[in-house]
Amino acid sequence: MKHNLKLLMGIDRNSQFSTRVIILSLPSALLFSALTLLGLLSPLTSFVCYIIIIVFNMFSLFPISYELQTLRKYIYSLANEMDNNDAMPQLSEKDAQELAAAVNSVHRFWISKTDTLEAQTVSDAAILDTLPDPILMLDGEGNITGGNLAARQFLGTDVANQRIDALFSTNIFIAAVEKILKGKSETESLVFYMSGKYNRRVYAHINKLPWFSKGRAVAVVSLYDISKALSVEKMQSDFVANASHELRTPLSVISGFIDTLQTSAKDDADARDMFLKIMREQADYMSALIEDLLSLSRLEMAQDKPLKDKVDLAEVIDDVVQSLKIKAFNRSLNVKMIEENRIPKIVGDNHEIHQIVQNLVDNAIKYAVENSEISITMKTVPSIPSGSGLNVADGKAVSIAVNNKGPKIEKADLARLTEKFYRMQIHKDMKIKGTGLGLTIAKQIVMHHHGNLTVNSTTHGGTTFTVYLPIKQN
């Protein structure tokens, strides 16, 4: 009966409805019992009146209890789903209506706060992702709570699920992180080596965040990969060491001969002539080397210099061939120029393009087998082949291929020909003069023009250096 009544009224088991009805009816029960004991009311009348009061209480308490219960269910549904769109229940009791309105306004306030926070978090994460260096967030226990895109690319996508001391094994770095997490320091900076698969020298900056709460980021680690900068520094110091070495060699030859001329060969006219000839050669070599070094350093400094000459390549090649005619004649070489199609003028730097052609044709004459033919072929091509580390221009270009006959250059040598001071052993042994900077200079000029320089060598076809230069600079 009681169960049926509850179902009928829609009041659930957890409700204190029946307790409230009983408590409210208790004073009447006491009153009716007293009146019955005093003989003022018959037990039956007392009982009937008591039942009437209970029913009355039930009906007056039912609406508020029912609406409070409806309201409770509504609040739970709001709490469980922030974006709950359930309509607010229809309530008739004034108190319940006001309570519902208050709950709704609190809910709307939190929704707007959450939206703002979410938007803020998304935009903060997007900003962090644009930063080029890895950034990691740490909680108070040393767990990585997040990382930006650069960190995920550098350390792996699952970086956020790891402990900092599991990811980095370098003691000095972990000690610095601990110092921050234990509040012993606000900021730490250090350079350390990441061994294993990373193999990087890293500059780390660890900062304590200005707030501290459990489960939140309390420190930020920024990492800067300084390996590249260090290798550039090493390249520069290697270059200085190489240049000094290259200059010291002829200098010591010259000073050795000066000593000899001042002492043992003082009165030997034949020896003097021979020594002076060698000294002249060494001095020429030194000035060529200094000229090339200066040229290279000028080119490296002028990579942004605007290109505005209209260069007639056929004219440049003709000039170079004329200037090297005697050199070619001395080695019985026939230099042939082939213009496969009409070549338009190109936008570039006249002097620099002259330098490339000069270097390539000079090499062809120096390294060709005697009594052979050198060909210089010019043609327009639809595009420049791309090369590693090169920023080549789009669109039509002109190619100049310089071919000479000679032994095939092996792959290992081919890859190194444009390195500063690199010369093949066979040519050093043959005492062919050169600084090993000509192709480095040519490569630098090609880069300035957003072109490309390729080399191909076969046993029968000889060696071909091809330079690609864009017709227009974009």
Using CB under 6 A, list all residues that contact ligand ATP: 292, 359, 363-364, 367, 404, 406, 409, 417, 422-424, 427, 434-440, 463
| Dihedral sign, Cα of residue 177, residue 178, residue 181, residue 183 | negative
| Contact call for residue 435 and Mg ion (CB under 5 A) | no
The CB-of-360 to Mg ion minimum distance in angstroms stands at 8
Q: Which does 453 bind (CB under 5 to 8 A by kind): Mg ion, ligand ATP, none?
A: none
**What, of Mg ion, ligand ATP, none, does residue 69 touch, CB below 5 to 8 Å by kind?**
none
Q: Check residue 355 for interaction with Mg ion (CB under 5 A).
A: no
Q: 236-264 as b/e, with b when 16 or more CB fall inside 10 Å? A: eeeeeeebeebeeebeebbeebeeebeee
- Closest contact distance (angstroms) between CB of 415 and ligand ATP is 11
Q: Is 363 in the site for Mg ion (CB under 5 A)?
A: yes
Pick what 32 binds: Mg ion, ligand ATP, none; C-beta below 5 to 8 Å, kind-dependent.
none
CB of 153 to Mg ion, least distance (A): 41
Bridge partners (DSSP) of residue 454 are 466
Angle at 239 between CA 237 and CA 240, to 5 degrees: 65
Binding residues with Mg ion: total (CB under 5 A): 2
Q: Long-range contacts made by residues 236-240, C-beta under 8 angstroms, separation at least 24?
A: 239/420
- Report if residue 438 touches Mg ion, rule: CB under 5 A: yes
**Residue 435 touches which member of Mg ion, ligand ATP, none, C-beta under 5-8 Å by kind:** ligand ATP
β-pair partners for 311: 346
Residue 436, interface with Mg ion (CB under 5 A)?
A: no
Distance from C-alpha of 274 to C-alpha of 277, rounded to nearest angstrom: 5
Q: Shortest approach of ligand ATP to residue 458 CB, angstroms?
A: 12
Which residues neighbour 49 within 8 Å (Cβ) at sequence distance 6 or greater?
28, 32, 41
423 binds, among Mg ion, ligand ATP, none (CB under 5 to 8 A by kind): ligand ATP
Q: Which residue has the tokens 């250090």?
A: 190
Look at phi and psi of residue 38 and say left if phi exceeds 0, alpha if psi is from -120 to 50, else beta. alpha
What is the residue whose two structure tokens read 């008739």? 92
Q: Does 250 bind Mg ion (CB under 5 A)?
A: no
Nearest distance, CB of residue 363 and ligand ATP, angstroms: 3
Phi/psi of residue 453, nearest 5 degrees: -130, 120
The yes or no reply on residue 462 touching Mg ion (CB under 5 A) is: no
Shorter beta-carbon distance to ligand ATP: residue 137 or 360: 360
CA distances from 309 to 312, 393, 441, 471 (A): 9, 17, 19, 11
Which two three-digit tokens encode residue 370? Answer: 């005697």
CB of 284 to ligand ATP, least distance (A): 11
- Nearer residue to Mg ion within complex by CB, 348 or 438: 438
Of these partners, Mg ion, ligand ATP, none, which one is at the site of residue 463 (CB under 5 to 8 Å by kind)?
ligand ATP
Least distance to Mg ion from the beta carbon of 336, Å? 20
Binding site for Mg ion (CB under 5 A): 363, 438
